[in-house]
Amino acid sequence: MNLSAEWCATLQANGWEADHWSNVGDPCAQDSEIMAFAAQNDQIVVTHDLDFGMLLATTKAHAPSVVLIRIQDVLLESLAPFLLGCLSQFRTQLLQGALIVIDEDRARVRILPFR
């Protein structure tokens, strides 16, 4: 919910299935509900909300993969090239279960579950 629904078209145009939570579930849903839905449906959560990384750490979950954007400017025009590059670079890890943290100048990957 914290990223524009406009991202979906960009992701789809670049070979990723994408849907915005506002089209799937209750906009007021708890983060844990979003995570459960994504895990059950083999989806990846792309978010600007730090709570999703914390949920992975506290639950020691194997899924879903989460892409955590830690950049202030999340406008499509600014972030799309870098995000799409990271998704491509870490596709295998995302499909297996990972947390990808994207900062201003780099992306880091951690394989799930956290130990």
Q: What is the pLDDT of residues 9-38, one digit of tens each?
A: 999 999 999 999 999 999 999 999 999 999
- Domain span at 40: 6-111
Q: Against a cut of 0.85, is the pTM above it?
A: yes
In sequence order, the β-bridge partners of residue 66 are: 45, 99
pLDDT band at 115 (very low <50, low <70, confident <90, very high): confident
Residue 1 lies in a domain: no
Provide the domain count of the chain. Answer: 1
- CB contact at 8 A, 100 and 111: no
Rounded to an integer, what distance in angstroms lies between the CA atom of residue 25 and that of residue 1?
10
